[in-house]
Amino acid sequence: MRNIVMLGVQGSGKGTQAEMLAEKFSVSTVSTGRLFRSRIEEGTELGREIAPYVERGDLVPKDIVCRVVADWMDAPSARKGFILDGFPRNVAQAEALTEMLAENGRTLSDVVYIRLSDEEAMRRLSGRRVCANRDCETKFHVDLHPSKRDPNRCDRCGSELVHRSDDRSEAISRRLAIYGSETKPLVEYYRERGLLREVDGEQSIAEVFKSIMEKFRE
């Protein structure tokens, strides 16, 4: 069974590749960031609590994140394998994940690490546009791969394309700094545990996907 974690700097294409992999392996995927954005939009109590963190680009407190992920992983759909995009983001979360899985006799099978420079990450995030429909959230880029039919509408579902509120330059810098101090250490953490499958993120979307699939065949 495939129980996968996606790792990589913001903009490396975790969300993009997670969706392609989920389809390939017929497993479900969750992006904690996307889940949080939905709660914020719905204006739930949880949404109101986490909104300031997400808008600033800060990490949401661990207890909240772990509760949300644990609930998601308890659902029958995640019992047949899963792909986590955006969790864990630091060693404390990684340890919480191991415990969560062990409670049900599960373990992680692979950690896909998409390597990307900060300069390229900045370029991808500042030009990113996402479909406003949360059930779709297809990602586009104003220069790298714009929407084909209408630059302001999603090719897949026709909804409006928006600029994520944390894709403003101050929030991007903050997110990249937090990635360097909190999340990057997970690369060595998972390498030491023999789970890391590292690919070069500075290729086209299709080429990155191909590299990941090659790593799975190794």
**Catalytic choice (39, 124, 128, 139):** 128
Strand 28-31 relative to strand 82-85, pairing: parallel
CA distance to 14, 180, 185, per residue, from 29 (Å): 11, 25, 23
Known catalytic residue: 67? Answer: no
Name the nearest CA neighbour of 21 among 114, 125, 95.
114
Query: Is 89 noted as a catalytic residue in this protein?
Result: yes
From the list Zn ion, ligand AP5, Mg ion, none, which binds 113 (C-beta under 5 to 8 Å, kind-based)? none
Phi-psi region of 30 (alpha: psi -120 to 50; beta: other; left: phi over 0): beta
- The token duo for 87 is 């969790």
* Under rule CB under 5 A, residue 172 binds Zn ion: no
Q: What is the distance, to the nearest Å, from the Cα of residue 193 to the centroid of all Cα atoms in its chain?
A: 21
Q: x/- contact string, 88-127, with ligand AP5 (CB under 6 A)?
A: -x---x------------------------------xx--
Compare residues 16 and 138 and give the one whose CB is closer to Zn ion. 138
Q: Which residue of the set 2, 164, 168, 174 is catalytic?
A: 164
Q: Determine whether 175 is an active site residue.
A: yes
CA 27 to chain centre: 15
Q: Which residues bind Zn ion (CB under 5 A)?
A: 131, 133, 136, 138, 154, 156-157, 159
Q: Which residues are annotated as a binding site for Zn(2+)?
A: 131, 136, 154, 157
Q: Which residues are annotated as a binding site for AMP?
A: 32, 37, 58-60, 86-89, 93, 164, 175
